Amino acid sequence: MIGGVVRSFRLYPLVVLLILPGIGKSYSSSTEYPESFVLKERQADTFFPDTSPTASPQPFLPLLAPSPLTPFTNSTIPKLSGLCTLNFTALSSMMTLTSTDCMAAFAPVLANVVCCPQLEATLIILIGQSSNVTNRLALNGTLASYCLSDFEQILVGQGANIGLAKICSIHSSNLTEGSCPVADVSEFESTVDSSNLLASCGKIDTVNECCEQVCQNAILDAARKLAQKAYNMLSLDGSHVLSDHTTRINDCKGIVLRWLASKLDPLHAKDVLRGLSNCRINKVCPLNFPNMSYVIEGCSAITSNRTGCCNAVESYVSHLQRQSFVTNLQALNCAASLGVKLRKANITHDVYNLCHISLKDFSLQESGCLLPSLPSDVVFDVTAGVSFLCDLNDNIPAPWPSTSQSPASSCNKTIKIPALPAAASGQNSKFSMNQYVWL
């Protein structure tokens, strides 16, 4: 994985106010809800006591005045159904972290790498922890609908984006067992090798897990054993078996993760789940590549018109980077994916080198911000504001693919990763106002 120099991300208050005028909006004023579900108002001395960095130098620099962030200092009271059995209060600090990771202004552009992974982890932990009381690793359909609604209401009341379910593609069915035939804790533990599962996933090596897949293989093995109980293989034709079995395995993986979350303390479970999600996240480029015909046309005569080619490439990349923040490994995948597409269109010259395209050019904001390949969270300070990690603060050249084949996995030890800068420049990154016209 790529390491790198940690840098802070600066956001001016005026930009927040312009891009999301309703960030301070109160989402609910009703007081009709069970007392046990109330989340206390946030206090300055209780924000992220267990997740704030302690190493020196401190990677988070508070750079945003608190005035645009009223929801984070004056939580509104959500209107809850009173029918959900999940203990939100027991995970109040994690709910707080999730609402911050998914804050209204940033949820769409941090969805892939921060918000949605944390949202999914929190739901898994909530259900996993509840199984210690209910002996069930899933909710029924009706209860799932109430609980998802209450979950969203609490987060939105603390300043999270009101459209989280849509942004993260979360449905109430995600809280049920789906097609997995096992949701009972006792049956689960009698079906899988739970001791091996806990030994493999109780603590993961976040640096090497994505390539060695120790925990991931244990989860897959357990999910297969659960899925195998669903049907008689001889009663279905081969194609149906394959399709049905694949779906069941995926649903059973969710059950396995909830069981793990029930056996670990919440913060430990969060680290494991976020580490596993980053293995999936860093494998692909999350950006959509629109029609690039004008880039191909501009670079087809690169020997006679380099300026025209670079103008086209820079314009195309500037539109790509408005989609989302990406991690440093995702940026490598994005650079490789775009390069492969151009090579297949007979653009064989290294236009990245010619046009000075860097890895950070594939991530949001004009001065470049790549998030670390390891899990990171948004940090809020009641007096100073919001900050999050940026990695690779110098211009790391985007590698031009040597062939028109799809990029190889970063786990391939023969792949040559671009060298990191020897020292940090110390310059803070800044937002450009026109970056957010599209939001």
Reported as a single tens digit per residue, the pLDDT across 192-228 is 999 999 999 999 998 899 999 999 999 999 999 999 9
Is there a contact between 327 and 370 (Cβ–Cβ < 8 Å)? yes
pLDDT, tens only, 320-362: 988 999 998 999 999 999 999 999 999 999 999 999 999 989 9
Digit-coded pLDDT (tens) for 64-120: 333 333 344 456 788 899 999 999 999 999 999 999 999 998 899 999 999 999 999
Question: How does 237-276 read in b/e, with b if 16+ C-beta sit within 10 Å?
Answer: eeeeeeebbeebbebbbbbbbbbbbbbbebeebbbbbbbb
Length of the chain: 439
pLDDT number for residue 406: 67
- In degrees rounded to 5, what are phi and psi of residue 184? -80, 130
Place of tokens 């999940």: 86
| Cα four-point dihedral sign 18, 20, 24, 28 | positive
- Please identify which residue in the block is written with the tokens 């924000």: 47
Supply 52's token pair.
């704030």
- What pLDDT sits at residue 432? 32
Specify the residue for token string 């996995």: 409
**Token digits for 112?**
């892939």
Alpha helix ranges (H) inside 264-362: 266-281, 293-299, 306-320, 328-344, 351-354
- Model-wide pTM > 0.85: no
Q: How confident is the model at residue 10 (pLDDT cuts 50, 70, 90)?
A: very low
User: In angstroms, rounded to a whole number, what is the distance separating the alpha carbons of residues 187 and 30?
Assistant: 41
Burial class (CB in 10 A: 0-12, 13-18, 19+), 221: middle
